[in-house]
Amino acid sequence: MSSQPQIDHVVLLLPYALITSPPDWLTSAFTLSPGGRHTDNRTENRLILFADGSYLELIAFIDDDPKNREGHWWDKPYGIVDWALTNTTEEQPDVKKINSHLENKNSKVRYADPVAGGRKRPDGVELQWKVTFPTGIERGVVPFWCHDVTERGKRVPISKEATEHPSGALGVAGIRVGVDDGRVKAVSEAVEAIVGNKNLVLGAPKAVDGLKDPWVQVQTADKYALKLELALQTAHADQRDIRHKIEDGEVVISFK
């Protein structure tokens, strides 16, 4: 497996009721897998697993309790709020090396040291990982890193049944990061320093015949200071994109 950074997962924030009783606009496109409750007891998730080893994390604040949102990095409008990279050849990213690359780009972004995280699956299995978060920038503009302490297959239980979706989705095509026009150049350069190539191309945890490498595209947001969109690779040429408004946010998932 290449040392190239790989897309680990994309985070989609939803109301709690849409986690416990997923709506048709999700279930008509995707097969949902169990997730669990995080160790901070503030958030709960379900997963949409892809054949390329990545996944879409459907996350919600438990019972939509405002106290669970308070001070949390995902206290944002509903929609895609973050994205994570991994590197299956290393325990954790080389923070000093990445920060040096960012400094060379005159970026204010830096990465803090890895911290422990985890959740409990519905079957009682405890999962542990380490996450490396960016500083100096709003969460979601650049990726965080996620590396497993427990076996990755327990956190990302890829199977034929779990990865067969009505939409034909096979893996991540790319992430679109929409920011205000004045930040496009700086954010593009920061992402270049993080992923290690000018084309902003990533790898995926598992090789799938016919799939292209995922990409990152930094563009001007239409109405939002930050707007994230997910593009998925699909086997169905006629699959319709998902655009669904939830309160003051919007879920945008396109298919390629």
Which of the four pLDDT bands, split at 50, 70 and 90, describes residue 88?
low
Residues 6+ apart with CB under 8 A from 17: 64
pLDDT average, residue stretch 216-229 = 90
Burial of 225 (0-12, 13-18, 19+ CB in 10 A): exposed
Task: Report the alpha-carbon distance of residue 245 to residue 255 in Å, rounded.
Answer: 18
For residues 118-140, give the mean pLDDT: 96
List pLDDT tens digits, range 51-82: 999 999 999 999 999 999 999 999 999 999 99
Phi, psi of 83 (to 5 degrees): -150, 150
Q: What is the pLDDT of residue 224?
A: 72
Amino acid 1: pLDDT: 39
The first and second tokens of residue 253, run together, are 């998932």
Domains and CATH numbers, the chain: 6-255 (3.10.180.10)
pLDDT of 238 over the 50 cut: yes
pLDDT at 92: 74
